[in-house]
Each structure stands twice: as C-alpha cells, then as structure tokens.
Structure 1
Amino acid sequence: MQRINIALDGPAGAGKSTVAKRMADKLGYIYIDTGAMYRALTWKALQVQVDVHDEQQLVALLNNCEIRLEPGENGQKVYVDDEDVTNPIREREVTNQVSFVASHEAVRLEMLRLQRELAKERGVVMDGRDIGTHVLPTAEIKIFLSASIQERAERRFLELQQKGEQITLAELEEEIKKRDEIDSQRKTAPLRKAEDAVEIDSTGLSIEQVVQQIVTLVQQKLGGE
C-alpha cells in the first residue's frame, strides 16, 4: 500500500501529540514529535545555563548534542546525549521556555534539516507548529488541530493535577495565551494554518473522534489514488 506523510499542526494543548500517536499506531506509520525535539533542546539549555534568548549559543548547543526519538513500550522515548529526558521535557519550566527557543531562525533551520531527514522515507505522522507550512509542505494530508483556550487550559490542568502540581486554571490560560502569541508572531515559520490544510476543532470531541475524522481523510486520499 502506498505510504504518505501526514502533517499535523496546531497551538499548544490542542491534542496534537496524542492524536498523532494514535494515527501512527492505526496506520503502522512512524510518529515524529517535533515539539519534543525543541523541548529537548530547551531542557539541555536550562541544564547547562544557556540563555534561551541567545540564538548563537543555542545553535552551538544543538550542534554539539544528540537528540534522538525512539519507540518505547509506552510510547516515544526522547534522549539527549543518551540520557532519557522523556518526562523532564514535559515539566512546566521547559514548557514556559520552549517557545522562545523555537522562535530563533537559525535553530529552526537546523531542526528543519533533521526533521526532513526523518521523513524522507515517507509513512510518517509529524506534529508541530509549522509542519504543513514549512517542514513538510508537500505532505499529502495536512491537518490543523485547534481547540478553545479554555478547553486547552482544562486539559493541561488535569494533567498537572495528576502530577501533584499546584496551579490555577486562570494561570494556565494566561500561559497558553502567551505561548500562542509567541508561536504565531515569531519571524520564522510562525504558527498558522496551511492553505490546503483541513481544520478540525477538537473542542468537545474525544481523541478517538478526532482520530477517526483524520483516518477517514487518509482513506479517501489513498482510495482516490
């Protein structure tokens, strides 16, 4: 069967990673979490005290460390220089700094090279902020996954509650608004919907409902060819 590339974009907390993982499992495709790659670099920068606003230092750091994505028993594992950082890169300190790291043009250009290399064999589900518009502009299926700020904040609130972290919904809404602003206003490859992308608003929908909508699009695409 023909293998295609699927680009899944959208703002923070829209459910991209969860949907992309389910899609990859259903199709037998490879899942590439580009956000995890930026988070891994952000985590490394915080560890070695590199300023997240210093583009040159961040590029030097990226070129001198190895970021790997590997399948694991419970999902994708993320490694930086052979250290498993799958959980640390999801901590709030990283979450609140990653948009600054991702805003640098030189950092994005180097990440772009790595991401396109991972997708060259096709059969990939890749999620991020600029996949359909910049990383994989020729992807056969492009999805822009959105959700209200309130719903995204509530989803994040539940995740953090399970981890025992104390934060209010109002604080989370402000953090998400700030990330949306940084992501959509950055100079290089800003967050935006590709002209040929299908937008799915996941507000009020289950993960399985969203996945099924995309599976239907994939089946229509493959069936038509």
Structure 2
Amino acid sequence: MKRSSKRYKELTKKVEKILYSPEEAVNVLKNTATAKFEESAEAHVSLNVDPKYADQQLRATVIFPFGTGKKVRVVAIVKDAELYNAAELKAEKIGSENLIEEINQGYLDFDVLIAQTEMMPKLAKLGRLLGPRGLMPSAKAGTMTNDVKSAIDEFKKGKIEYRVDKTGIVHVNFGKTNFQASELIENLRTFYRSIMENKPTGVKGRYFKSFHLCSTMGPSIEVDWNIF
C-alpha cells in the first residue's frame, strides 16, 4: 500500500493541513509526484448529493483544453463506413454491422465507442457486454450522435465523461504531472465549471463538500473550491 511506504510518509510532510488555492495545490501536486513513472493528476470531488435519487445524479462530459495526456482509443459504428477514413480521423476503427459483430465476438481494444444514432437499435445485443464496462454509446455521454467526425475529434482531444459514484464523489484524471502548471490549472478550472454547470436540480444547501487533488502515488491536497 502506498500510504504505508517510507516514500509516501515523507511526501505527506510536504502537504500542510490547510485549504490551498488551485494554483498552490497544483504546485504541491507536481512537487509530490516523485514516482519512477509519469503520474496522472487526479481530482476527487465530494458533492452533497445522494445518487439514489434521480434529481441528484450527476453525469456529464467535459473537454479539457490541454487534454489528459492519455492516448484514447476510439472506434465508431456508422451506417456507411466507406464514407469515413479512420486513419484521417485518427480513429482505431470505423465500421458498420461488421464492427458490431466483431465487438460481439470479443473485440474490446478501445476506450470510447461512438455510434451514429440510427445504428443504436443494432447495438442492443451488445448491451450486456458494453454496459458494465461503461462503453455503451449514449446521447448524455456524447457518444451517440449524427456528427460522428466531430465526436471522434473531441474525444481524441481530451473529452471525457464523468459521473458521481454511489458515495457522492466524482473522480477524474485531469492531466499528467509533467504538464505545465498553467495547463493543469486551466484543465482543473474547466472541470470545476463543468461541475457547476451540470449541478443536479435536487441539490439542497451547499453543493461541494470537499475538493482534493493528488498524483497517482502522492498524498491528498485539499483545495479551497470557493476561489476557483
């Protein structure tokens, strides 16, 4: 466990028990990212919501202006696959019913599946395979669309879907620790604005409970969300 390691204990000494400004928090995050691999920059946001109620659920998308630093594998299912050039669009695959069958046979080497709206009925048989993996296309996630080319481009550039978990917390990676501090801060502000813009209608009282950052192997840093 990282929390019991000597390295981790030393890193925790660099984090004060205070509320950091977003800029200060990002700087501390970068200074505590000392693993031997390029760590992700993570945000963990606790919200005053109870997801068991429909009007307190949060599920939305955000496009990070500086991306996530992760190579995203995108495939698309369209009616007329011959009208699309997968290489030109930087998609792993673009297909029609042939791709549906390939996925049904076990092909899952992708992170995002985009489907043209009229193809959705044909994807119904993939529900049990894709649903539990969070890969089933939906309008809410921006993966069921008639503008397939734009959707591919957005996800390649850093669009992600996020949602609140059953405990009321949203977890996202908003970049890599080798990003410039200014890039991480702008990604973080974009994420904060998205959470605000998608505030569930059923929220009563304050919306945010806490806002923490950390690197993959680093200690938790609490952010003052009031000064975003």
Confirm or deny a common fold (TM above 0.5).
no
Where on the TM-score scale, by shorter chain, does this alignment land: which range?
A: under 0.3
Higher strand share: 2
Which has the larger Rg? 2
Relative contact order higher in (CA < 8 Å, ≥ 6 apart): 2
Higher helix share: 1
